């Protein structure tokens, strides 16, 4: 669903129509409202960024994108995210 549809109140419930796949999301939000950039992990074997992954982002949105065979996080992704966390929270 789009942000506009949600904000307009037209959307009352959501159903899975099986035409989308699930992704993993790594996020960190502080109690003061500040946040690190999101890390989105999609399913894909090539490791290349797909244009459909960024279709719903606005120009001012920023996020890290990655892919794995099954769309799940791994030790390598978690370690990279912890390095990002450490660098941005010093």
DSSP symbols for 54-66: GTT--TT--EEEE
What is the pTM assigned to this prediction?
0.61
35: left (phi over 0), alpha (psi -120 to 50) or beta: beta
Q: How many independent structural domains does the chain possess?
A: 1
What is the pLDDT, as a whole number, of residue 72? Answer: 81
User: Would residue 63 count as lying in a domain?
Assistant: yes
User: Would residue 42 count as lying in a domain?
Assistant: yes
| Tens of pLDDT, residues 10-64 | 666 555 555 567 788 888 888 888 888 888 888 877 767 777 777 777 878 888 8
User: Would residue 54 count as lying in a domain?
Assistant: yes
- As a whole number of angstroms, the distance between CA 73 and CA 8 comes to 33
User: Would residue 10 count as lying in a domain?
Assistant: no
User: Exposed, middle or buried by CB within 10 Å (0-12, 13-18, 19+), for 19?
Assistant: exposed
Structural domain for 59, as ranges: 21-88
Indicate the SS3 state at residue 40: strand
């Amino acid at each position: 669903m789009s942000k506009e549809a949600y904000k307009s109140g037209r959307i009352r419930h959501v159903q899975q129509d099986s035409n989308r796949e699930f992704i993993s999301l790594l996020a960190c939000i502080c109690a003061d409202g500040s946040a690190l950039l999101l890390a989105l992990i999609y399913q894909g074997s090539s490791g290349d960024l797909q244009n459909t992954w960024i279709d719903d982002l606005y120009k001012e949105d920023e996020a890290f994108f990655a892919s794995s065979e099954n769309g799940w996080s791994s030790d390598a992704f978690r370690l990279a995210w912890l390095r990002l966390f450490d660098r941005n929270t010093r």
